Structure 1
Amino acid sequence: MPLTHISLRAGKPEDYRQAIFDSLYRAMHETFNVPEDNQFMTISEHDAANFRYGASFLGIARSDDLVFIQITANNTRTLDQKKVLFRRIAALLGESPGIRPEDVFVNLVEVAKENWSLGNGLAQYA
């Protein structure tokens, strides 16, 4: 049950943003076995004054097209699954909407299954 928050510089068209949603969901579906209707994602756009990044941290040449992706998910995946997810996200975002792999920044936050309420005030996974 991933919850995904995406942050990017303001100004990209709607089809670009929708392509990010579609590519991210596809990567999670393929590598994390996320079910078909399990799409909970937001995009936040930021003007230049409110979007800062290390342009060359760890020797990676980032641009203003950088996308921050934070995925909160159950702590049930292996290290290999996580590595495959990261590679698949970068590959699919490269295909659509055309984001360079250097500009794909992913942070996975893992939580215990009982830390979710998906509606109705219930802990569905507890």
Structure 2
Amino acid sequence: MPFLRFDLIEGRSDAEIQRLLDVTHEVLVETLHVPSRDRYQVVHQHPKSSIVALDTGLDINRTDKLVMLQLTSRPRDKASKLEFYRVLAERLSSSCGVAPTDLMISFVINADEDWSFGMGRAQFVTGELH
């Protein structure tokens, strides 16, 4: 937890995708203080014609390196989210060649009872996880 879904335009190599996932996880651990073994990431690749990502009137130019990241999580404080946005944009730019203009992030917040990591139990509710 959190659960990360990456939507990408097809064309990246396996190594590029792995680096993107690794860097994102490192930033998640650093800024949101997630345990290092708490890693749930899924990549979906789409033909260019299947992704529309306009600029919301912000004059943001996007390329085929676009990363749309949806992060499902328990509640996080505002400062931590802002730090995550900033640090991830910096690191993906320096380590993966993803321009900050090609990074779009959305948090989806839910509650403890919305998570089951297996065994038919809600581990945050049962106290197995904190």
Q: TM-score, normalised by structure 1?
A: 0.94
2:43 pairs with 1:49:
no
- Partner residue, 1:99: 98
Over the matched positions of the two proteins, sequence identity in percent amounts to 30
**CA positional deviation for 1:55:** 5.1
- Deviation string, structure 1 residues 25-67 (Cα, Å, up to 9, x no partner): 0111001011011110011100122111115742212122111
Distance 1:121 1:44 in 2: 27
Amino acid at match of 1:27: V
- Structure 2: where are the runs of 5+ without partners? 126-130
Cα RMSD between the aligned structures?
Answer: 1.2
Distance 2:25 2:57 in 1: 27
Q: Secondary structure at the match of 1:96?
A: helix
Amino acid at match of 2:21: F
Distance 2:49 2:13 in 1: 20
Q: Secondary structure at the match of 2:65?
A: coil
**CA positional deviation for 1:103:** 0.3
**CA positional deviation for 1:120:** 0.6
1:1-126 equivalence runs, <5 A: 1-54=1-54, 57-75=57-75, 77-126=76-125
Distance 1:7 1:82 in 2: 20
Q: TM-score, normalised by structure 2?
A: 0.91
Q: Secondary structure at the match of 1:43?
A: strand
**Equivalent residues, number:** 125
Distance 2:63 2:57 in 1: 12
Distance 2:63 2:69 in 1: 15
Contact residue 55 and residue 63 of structure 1 kept, 8 A? no
